[in-house]
Structure 1
Amino acid sequence: MTVVTVYCVFADAEEAERIGRTVVEESLAACVNILSPCRSIYRWQGAIEEAAEVPALFKTSDTVADRLIERIALLHSYDVPAIAVWPIDRLLADYGDWVEQSVLQL
């Protein structure tokens, strides 16, 4: 099994915490790191928009990542949430073992 990070931004800290707790409880992620708010500038429906958003990093296995993405998208308030998988090139072996033991075994 390979450990990956799933990156996502949320409308606010409350949404990030609610969804983060849910997916950890469901064993789709071993943990979530909810970061400080960031300022996003993006194009949406033909206009340039700005918003304060809350990024989060979910640690999971490559085999569970698609299920995690689907679950986050289902719970997310955005029509098209930014959700991306980042591969992890190297990590502490014990940490990798912990992530793998903490998520669903498919």
Structure 2
Amino acid sequence: MSEFCLVLCTCPDMDSARRIAQCAVEQRLAACVNIIPGLESVYQWQGKVQTDNEVQLVSKTYKPKLEALYTLVSGLHPYDEPEWLVLDITGGSPTYLDWIKSSTT
């Protein structure tokens, strides 16, 4: 099992995305958070098809930090049910993976 993962989370706007990303990195819960604007999401919510413009966050983190990162995101996120998808990193540059670990411990 990998020690590292990517976390995907969408936000409704740049302000909330930046606030979450900044706090995650400042608190060493993520080594890096990419903020990707211009996302259009189509989804079912409360029995209706919705379409919204969103901002995608991609967080690189060390798995022991996942629970604390989830608590942070849940506390700052404006959505009732924010996206929270965790993807294992199964490989990568050893020096980059070392950087993720050292940046989050």
- TM-score band, normalised by the shorter chain? over 0.9
Partner of 2:45: 44
Question: Secondary structure of the residue that 1:79 maps to in structure 2?
Answer: coil
Question: Secondary structure of the residue that 1:37 maps to in structure 2?
Answer: strand
Q: Which amino acid aligns with 1:52?
A: N
Partner of 2:69: 68
Tell me which stretches of 4 or more aligned residues in structure 1 moved more than 3 Å.
Answer: none
Q: TM-score, normalised by structure 1?
A: 0.93
Q: TM-score, normalised by structure 2?
A: 0.94
CA RMSD across the alignment: 1.1
1:25-77 CA-to-partner distances (Å, cap 9, x unmatched) read 01111110111221101111111111000001001111111211121011100
Identical counterparts, % of pairs: 35
Instruction: Identify unmatched segments of 5+ residues in structure 1.
Output: none
What CA distance in whole angstroms lies between the structure 1 residues aligned with 2:45 and 2:96? 38
Partner of 2:21: 20
Question: Secondary structure of the residue that 1:67 maps to in structure 2?
Answer: helix
